[in-house]
Amino acid sequence: MRGSTASDLAADLEAAIRVGRLAPGERLPTVRAEARRLRLSPATVAAAYRTLRQRGCVTAQGRRGTRVSQRPPLPVRTAPVIPAHLRDLAYGNPDPALLPPLAPALRRLGRAPRLYGEPTLHPELLAHAARQLAADGIPTTGLAVAGGALDGIERVLQAWLRPGDRVAVEDPGYAAVLDLVSALGLVAEPVALDDDGPLPEEVARALAAGAAALIVTPRAQNPTGAALTPARVRALAVVLAAHPEALVVEDDHAGPVAGAPALTLAPGRARWASVRSVSKSLGPDLRLAVVAGDATTISRVAGRQRLGVGWVSHVLQGLVATLWTDPAAERRLAVARETYAARRAALLAALAARGIAAHGRSGLNVWIPVPEEAPVVHALAEAGFAVRAGESHRLRSGPAVRITIATLQPRDAPRVADAVAHALRPARRTAPA
């Protein structure tokens, strides 16, 4: 680091991380050692490190020292470019052919411009969202509209938590949520899960360790496809009842195309939010999610939003409301849900036929535990398919690869399974002469 003030030191170190001079996981000098080198007070260096921790750029790891975060909120990682000759089974996008067309809904939108001072929430959108959520057992006393699932989750976390607070997160989990937790200066407490969702004993351990919040995906969990069951909801409710002040955040990003019913941990909680996005059902570019929650959480989310972006565009809100009330769009969603389920089942069956264990009860992804990720990713690329290594989804869980089934035709599932089986086959050894 270079500089004479804490802000100068922090800015210089942040720049080093941004351009790659310091890599994720790299250990920084101790406060005292750096203070001696720079001829500054230890308090100045400590303040610089504290600033970087609050920004999520570094983490304090006890005896392991202060290290560059594995997920710094800086553009140090670029999205991988998928070669044109490979089928994209990596990015997690929905199938464009299964999304409702926007043109008819756009033609039905009102043409009156919205101005400052007018209501920020679209009444028809709220009414339909309330009916949807209530039918799924989710309380609707407070509703807000956010610019997508991650925007909603970020606003809810910021409403209650401060840098340094611990958050229980699914492991493996959605890479963007793990990145967001780090970027907010929060500490991720990994919680193992199975096909029914987070394990109750793992949630109990995380909350006992001081986690102030739990982020859970009720269905279509990314990357494993886990989905809550009534029995798991009851077991988790018992655990959560011992921690009444813990914040529960539900990320229902797939909604009606998840292929599993919507279940919730919200009833009876003092601090909770359920975020339902339209990204997988209506399209990622709509950037809209409805946030249900307790009165205080929704008030804080809406108040902070008012001081920033103000509101989510009424064009987007009206478009989603129109699609939600269109019988043709509803039929398209039913087709999408059934198609994704068939594609997911085809790949799981092909893998099982080759003795390969995999997970994918719901959603758009199949998660395949493997001894090493790189050989499997390489083997699938040789077979013509781009898939995602599981590293970005993992904290303590073992290696795996994620395959998005959204556009994978059932006839192609055996080819994918063959490539995985080939990568996992033990190398043949030549007998000595």
CATH number at residue 159: 3.40.640.10
* Residue 416 belongs to some domain of the structure: yes
267: preceding bond cis by omega (within 30 degrees)? no
pLDDT greater than 70 at residue 433: no
* Residue 47 belongs to some domain of the structure: yes
* Residue 81 belongs to some domain of the structure: no
* 228 and 341, same domain (yes or no): no
Cα distance between residue 209 and residue 65, in whole Å: 20
Instruction: Give 376's pLDDT tier (boundaries 50, 70, 90).
Output: very high
Give the least confident one: 44-58, 272-286, 407-421. Answer: 44-58
pLDDT greater than 90 at residue 364: yes
* 110 and 201, same domain (yes or no): yes
Cα distance between residue 360 and residue 390, in whole Å: 14
* Residue 50 belongs to some domain of the structure: yes
The predicted pLDDT at position 331 comes to 96
Strand partners, 401: 368, 389
* 120 and 199, same domain (yes or no): yes
pLDDT greater than 60 at residue 157: yes
pLDDT greater than 60 at residue 103: yes
* 273 and 394, same domain (yes or no): no
* 318 and 339, same domain (yes or no): no
Of 307, 325, 343, which marks where a domain is finished? 325
pLDDT greater than 80 at residue 284: yes
The predicted pLDDT at position 429 comes to 39
* 299 and 173, same domain (yes or no): yes
Q: Which of left, alpha, beta for 62 (phi over 0: left; psi -120 to 50: alpha)?
A: left
* Residue 122 belongs to some domain of the structure: yes
The predicted pLDDT at position 427 comes to 47
Q: Residue 360's domain is classified under what CATH number?
A: 3.90.1150.10
* 130 and 54, same domain (yes or no): no
Of 325, 358, 380, which marks where a domain is finished? 325
Instruction: Give 24's pLDDT tier (boundaries 50, 70, 90).
Output: confident
Strand partners, 252: 276
* Residue 82 belongs to some domain of the structure: no
* 137 and 214, same domain (yes or no): yes
Structure token digits, residue 234:
């009851």
Q: What is the mean pLDDT of residues 347-369?
A: 98
* 295 and 347, same domain (yes or no): no
The predicted pLDDT at position 428 comes to 39
pLDDT greater than 80 at residue 276: yes
* 302 and 334, same domain (yes or no): no
* 56 and 92, same domain (yes or no): no
The predicted pLDDT at position 137 comes to 96
Give the least confident one: 103-117, 140-154, 352-366. Answer: 103-117
Write the CA distances from 124 to 7, 28, 121, 288, integer angstroms. 48, 53, 9, 15
pLDDT greater than 80 at residue 243: yes
Average pLDDT of the chain is 93
The predicted pLDDT at position 348 comes to 98
* 120 and 221, same domain (yes or no): yes
Q: What is the mean pLDDT of residues 121-148?
A: 96
The predicted pLDDT at position 75 comes to 67
Q: Residue 38's domain is classified under what CATH number?
A: 1.10.10.10
Structure token digits, residue 202:
């793992």
Q: Bigger pLDDT: 358 or 53? A: 358
Instruction: Give 431's pLDDT tier (boundaries 50, 70, 90).
Output: very low
Q: What domain range is 414 assigned to?
A: 87-96+329-424
Of 283, 302, 325, which marks where a domain is finished? 325
pLDDT greater than 90 at residue 112: no
The predicted pLDDT at position 79 comes to 63
According to DSSP, the β-strands at 247-252 and 211-216 are parallel
What domain count does the chain have? 3
Instruction: Give 99's pLDDT tier (boundaries 50, 70, 90).
Output: very high
* Residue 77 belongs to some domain of the structure: no
Percent of residues, the chain, with pLDDT higher than 70: 97
Percent of residues, the chain, with pLDDT higher than 90: 82
* Residue 54 belongs to some domain of the structure: yes
Distance of CA 183 to the CA centre of its chain: 13
Three state DSSP letters for the chain: CCCCCHHHHHHHHHHHHHCCCCCCCCECCCHHHHHHHHCCCHHHHHHHHHHHHHCCCEEECHHHCEEECCCCCCCCCCCCCCCCCCEECCCCCCCHHHCCCCHHHHHHCCCCCCCCCCCCCCHHHHHHHHHHHHHCCCCCCCEEEECCHHHHHHHHHHHHCCCCCEEEEEECCCHHHHHHHHHCCCEEEEEEEECCEECHHHHHHHHHCCEEEEEECCCCCCCCCCCCCHHHHHHHHHHHHCCCCCEEEEEECCHHHCCCCCCCCCCCCCCEEEEEECCCCCCHHHCCEEEEECHHHHHHHHHHHHHCCCCCCHHHHHHHHHHHCCHHHHHHHHHHHHHHHHHHHHHHHHHHHCCCCCECCCCCEEEEECCCHHHHHHHHHHCCEECEEHHHHCCCCCCEEEEECCCCCHHHHHHHHHHHHHHHCCCCCCCCC
The predicted pLDDT at position 96 comes to 97
